Amino acid sequence: MFEKFLKGKTAVVTGSNSGIGLGIAQELARVGADLVINSFTDSQDDHALARSLAAEHGVEVRYIQADMSRPEDCRALIEKAGRCDILVNNAGIQHVAPIPDFPAGKWDAIIAINLSSAFHTSAVALPMMRKAGWGRVINIASAHGLTASEYKSAYVAAKHGIVGLTKVTALETAREPITCNAICPGYVLTPIVEKQIPDQMKTHDMSREDVIAKVMLVRQPSGEFATVEQVGGTAVFLSSPAAEQITGTTISVDGGWTAL
């Protein structure tokens, strides 16, 4: 659909060695963006993934290890990238439990990785965007940034928080050629969702098939999972000239979930 209009731009995508982050990285590279991909690990597979993305799309790809639960790592990731025209705050984790049983450490980790990391990366990336005269901040929120589900207190709080941060970032950059928006996916079948299925089976005393159909996709009127390519394509659109006046808002990729 788009030509290589992001040639010469660098996209930093947090939490991008799997799932939605990897899908977004793929789609941005497809339209010419150089990439910095990231996770908290530093394995041969991580670096091999960077090489294979570079070979597939003919762009520069670096893998930079940084733990998004640590503020200093978040800031160092952007500093090491050296340039950040497109910042995609994607890293995220999940834990499912009723509030009285929700481990405090899990609450802290979810708030740190899913919310605070975006504040720290943005704090370093925005001055770089200002210097370059162009920028896009794309925060990966969730349908849970707009609605709630039981047993997901920390996740829903973090995702509502990142929608708020998105609005403030947009207002602080409104007079500049920088935009900030949040993508709110519904269920996408990635490792984070796979990991929830056993917990949900236990909590609801249901089979895997019933959890998928009656707990997860029951909220998604399309009855289908969204795909990482669709979320990645939305990030490409937000980086395109057509989206220059779109800022401070949310775009749902949720099969109708938030229309209910």
Q: Which of residues 70-109 bind ligand NAD (CB under 6 A)?
A: 90-93
Nearer to ligand NAD, 5 or 149 (CB): 149
Nearer to ligand NAD, 96 or 140 (CB): 140
**Of 111, 148, 193, 243, which lies in the binding site for ligand NAD, with binding defined by CB under 6 A?**
193
Could you tell me the smallest distance in angstroms from the CB atom of residue 217 to ligand NAD? 11
Q: Residue 67, interface with ligand NAD (CB under 6 A)?
A: yes
Of 52-60, 125-133, 165-173, 180-188, the window that binds ligand NAD (rule: CB under 6 A) is: 180-188
Q: Residue 197, interface with ligand NAD (CB under 6 A)?
A: no
Q: Is 187 a catalytic residue?
A: no
Could you tell me the smallest distance in angstroms from the CB atom of residue 185 to ligand NAD? 4
Q: How far apart are CA 101 and CA 96, in angstroms?
A: 10
What tokens were used for 167?
Answer: 């609005």
Contacts for 243 with CB less than 8 Å, ≥ 6 apart: 179, 181, 237
Radius of gyration of the chain (CA): 18
Residue at token pair 């409104």: 174
Q: Residue 190, interface with ligand NAD (CB under 6 A)?
A: yes
Nearer to ligand NAD, 20 or 137 (CB): 20
Query: Measured in Å, how far apart are the chain's first and last C-alpha atoms?
Result: 31
Contacts for 235 with CB less than 8 Å, ≥ 6 apart: 24, 27, 28, 86, 88, 138, 183
Nearer to ligand NAD, 89 or 179 (CB): 89
Q: Residue 146, interface with ligand NAD (CB under 6 A)?
A: no
**Of 26, 69, 116, 121, which lies in the binding site for ligand NAD, with binding defined by CB under 6 A?**
69
Q: Which of 137, 143, 144 is nearest to 165 (CA)?
A: 137
Could you tell me the smallest distance in angstroms from the CB atom of residue 159 to ligand NAD? 7
Q: Which of residues 13-52 bind ligand NAD (CB under 6 A)?
A: 15-21, 39-40
Q: Residue 153, interface with ligand NAD (CB under 6 A)?
A: no
Contacts for 74 with CB less than 8 Å, ≥ 6 apart: 14, 66, 68, 116, 117, 120, 121, 124
Contacts for 121 with CB less than 8 Å, ≥ 6 apart: 12, 14, 74, 75, 77, 78, 87, 89
**Of 10, 26, 142, 247, which lies in the binding site for ligand NAD, with binding defined by CB under 6 A?**
142
Greatest alpha-carbon span in the chain: 54
CA 222, chain centre distance (Å): 22
Annotated catalytic residues are 155
**Binding residues for ligand NAD (CB under 6 A):** 15-21, 39-40, 67-69, 90-93, 113-114, 140, 142, 185, 187-188, 190-193
